[in-house]
Amino acid sequence: MARKLFGTDGIRGTANTEPMTAETALHVAMAAARRFRRGEHRHLVVIGKDTRLSGYMLEPALTAGFISMGMDVTLLGPMPTPAVAMLTRSLRADLGVMLSASHNPYQDNGIKLFGPDGYKLSDPVEAEIEAMVGQGDGLSSPDKLGRARRLDDAPGRYIEFVKQTFPRGLRLDGLKIVVDCAHGAAYRVAPTVLWELGATVVPLAVQPDGLNINRKCGAVHPQLMCEQVVAHGADFGLALDGDADRVMISDERGRMLDGDQVMALVANSWRRARKLKGRGVVATVMSNLGLELYLKGKGIKLVRTPVGDRYVVEKMREERFNVGGEQSGHIILSDYATTGDGLIAALQVLAVIVEAEKPASEAGRLFTALPQVLRNVRYGQSRPLDDAEVKRAIADGERKLGETGRVLIRKSGTEPVIRVMAEGEDDRLVAGVVDQIVAAIEAAARRQAA
């Protein structure tokens, strides 16, 4: 059965428009409850959210759905996605739910589901839940309804958990760190963690109003963070996205260290410390060829997956690796977390810098990325990738780049966008190939819409 609700990262859409309505959230909760009720114990679901205005609408709808099925609900309030995953396991809950559309603007929202092990649900399990949506059976009797409560110390639990991932004996004393929280879920916990580890903290985007999440800030717009690193003479900068499961990092010069550089840094550090499991790293098809070549030189293999941190995690579990992630800043370190955690990833980079006693510009940049160009093309309801002219443009680009480069075309799983990426040794050639393919896609979309 083709899935209509679930995409590459849960359910996502414009708030108060299907599927992001209170009614659908209610039915999704009821279906998930049916799938995860097991045994005779008192069932529990943990619900967290980011700072979007629509969270006030969707959170009570989910709560009502779970309670109607006899499940107790623990409400965390605004908390990072990885905190929900962690607390699902810590509280021995049957299910975890995160309300967030990650890096998308405030108009959107999403529902991410975690199993009792703290991992995102697999495609087959999501398909089971989707098939149950709208089925009215299984409601609890009045005396078996669930109850709801708020976990007031949720931020403190997560803060202590994250601090424990920083190596013992190391401190951030003497470092000035800019942290951009994107007016999102980590606006309280991220600055606190860095402060308690000894850093001087310059907080940015920590005044959410329900409408400003990710607006010209955070991991999607890291320029603000980079500018403030230079302006404040800081040693390091990090920019989280709306739900804090991804991070973009800046050195003291305001230059970016993307997810590929972070994976290289952590993998090499853990290799030297004999902590790297499987002598490999899992990344997606979007990661730069420069990363692959660097890791190969260190005797570390790179395994690629489709785009989506869930697929990275699945391959990590299959291969028993403990380092993986995406160029976009989703870094999964399975020794500590079951999903991407931007704050934990940043702390591991900081640990390498502190131990090296070198600035981030020296300690944090391990390879030179091959020229890579990525452009997004919105396509509406058309099917431009089926167009013969588009196929010819893609084939021509692949021929021009030859064996020293590659072309990657894919549809986004979260929005009506086609992502066109190319990389190779010649930056002008790469840019020209992308321009040619984008022009062909745009022309095809116009023809099909006419």
Residues tagged active-site: 102
Distance CA 262, CA 241 (A): 16
Bridge partners for 404 per DSSP = none
Q: Could you tell me the two tokens for 252?
A: 């003291």
Distance CA 338, CA 162 (A): 13
Distance CA 99, CA 126 (A): 16
- The answer to whether the beta carbons of residues 287 and 327 sit under 8 Å apart is yes
Local structure of residue 142 (DSSP, 8 states): G
Angle of CA points 335, 340, 343, to nearest 5°: 85
Single-letter amino acid code for the residue at 301: K
Long-range contacts of 384-390 (CB under 8 A, 24+ apart): 384/418, 384/440, 384/441, 384/442, 384/444, 384/445, 384/448, 385/409, 385/411, 385/418, 385/441, 387/440, 387/441, 387/444, 387/447, 387/448, 389/440, 389/443, 389/444, 390/437, 390/440, 390/441, 390/444
Distance CA 48, CA 113 (A): 11
Distance CA 118, CA 424 (A): 38
Q: Could you tell me the two tokens for 127?
A: 């398909």
